[in-house]
Amino acid sequence: MSLLETLAAVGIYLVAAPLVGGLLAGVDRKVSARLQGRWGPPVVQPLYDVIKLWRKENIVVRRSQSFYVYFFFLFTVFTGGLFYSGGDLLLTIFALTLAGIFLVLGAYKASSPYSFLGAERELIQMMAYEPMVLLTAIGMYLVTGSFFVGDIVRYRHLLVLSTPGLFLGFVFILLFKMRKSPFDLAASHAAHQEIVRGVTTEFSGRTLALIEIAHWYETVVVFGVVALFFAAVPWAAVVATAAVYLAVILVDNVFARVKWPLALASAWIVAATLGVGNILVVFFLR
């Protein structure tokens, strides 16, 4: 990509990603409500909620909490800019991991037992899904010969045909990344858990609004990775990404939360079988 194209892609991402992410969160609420026999809030309700949070007073236990949240937000936004400008996928993953670590540090800094427990569970979730995320990037490199998103997009064949195991494994760990049942260990958007929100318990006002917006940016990035598996056929990428998003919502409404040992073990088993197995097949057959 030329410099002008890169700047245009980053600019579109910065403006469009929070709007798309907010609307996707609204679709999540709406579909979940219909599955439960309710009408549900309007699709734009998450945007209204963030605007309301932005207008509230920012109350924190320690001022340094906000410092960590700002870096969590900045690194999350940087991750998406790097990804949608065609940058290094491996660096994108590392930056997203670093963003998550800043959120955990902010939760630890609050010195609240609920926040502290949420931070520990968030670390467990990161331990669970990071191996599969890294294996996905490695598998894409073995097939396309490049870690750069731009090169992966220009790959002439459907990537999912060579990496079905990696695709299924990545879809599995999306339940961790999006904090969905049965793996919503550290935080959940379910109504009955709003009093105690784990890793975000001690955040409010603009700080909590930034966390929500950062999660919208993150959603757009991780589903961008899903689209990479079908990038050779644009319409297939759109259909597959929408189908995966709806499947994640369905699983969230069907399954109950599991305990952390089972969550960690299941993620590593999936990574070892689907991830490593697919990479070995690609390596020996290429």
Contacts of 63 (CB under 8 A, 6+ apart): none
pLDDT per residue as tens digits for the range 84-114: 999 999 999 999 999 999 999 988 887 778 8
What span, in angstroms and rounded, lies between the C-alpha atoms of 232 and 225?
A: 13
pLDDT at 116 over 90: no
- pTM (predicted TM-score): 0.92
The whole-chain average pLDDT of the chain stands at 89
| The pLDDT of residue 1 | 62
Q: Which two tokens stand for residue 178?
A: 């999006």
Look up the domain containing 260 and give its range.
3-285
Q: What total of structural domains would you count in the chain?
A: 1
Quick one: pLDDT band at residue 243, thresholds 50, 70, 90?
A: very high
pLDDT reported for residue 232? 93
Which tens digit of pLDDT belongs to each residue from 23-55? 999 999 999 999 988 888 899 999 999 999 998
φ/ψ region of 145 (left if φ > 0, alpha if ψ in -120 to 50, else beta) reads left
Helix, strand, or coil (residue 281) = helix
pLDDT at 192 over 60: no
Rounded mean pLDDT, 226-247 = 95
3-state secondary structure of 164: helix
| pLDDT confidence band for 138 (50 / 70 / 90) | very high
In sequence order, which ranges of the chain are alpha helices (DSSP H)?
3-35, 45-55, 64-84, 89-109, 113-144, 149-153, 159-162, 164-177, 205-228, 234-254, 260-270, 276-285
